[in-house]
Amino acid sequence: MKSEKRYYPLCATEIGVVLIGVVNMPAATIIQILGPFLIFSDLIFRPHAYHRVLFIACFMLSTILFTTSLFYFENTFLPLLIIVALTLFSMLTIRVAENCIQRHFIGVP
């Protein structure tokens, strides 16, 4: 599927997750995990993907942790703030790792 045509199925999946979440939160969590894997399967499961097993595990764990944090807090601001902080930290970690890999292969100590 082309990247331009992935937007609408992803939006439909998210609307479905919200509607199912009103009725059954564990089912919505499972659909939230499986939806992007089905839509972006050619990007995630390609042979030269960068740490795809680690990405899948982190995505599943973060979705489950976010769902359980929604049960423990009265509002959604604090869980969303925690997710933003973890996302920024993971982006920084990935960027530093890529920078180290580039330095290693270029030959810069």
pLDDT at 44: 66
pLDDT at 102: 80
> How far apart are the C-alpha atoms of 96 and 82, rounded to whole Å?
21
pTM listed for this prediction: 0.57
Mean predicted lDDT score pLDDT of the chain: 78
Average pLDDT over residues 74-82: 76
> How far apart are the C-alpha atoms of 25 and 94, rounded to whole Å?
31
Percent residues over pLDDT 90 in the chain = 0
pLDDT at 51: 66
Residue 52 has pLDDT above 70, yes or no: no
Bin 107: left if φ > 0, else alpha if -120 < ψ < 50, else beta: left
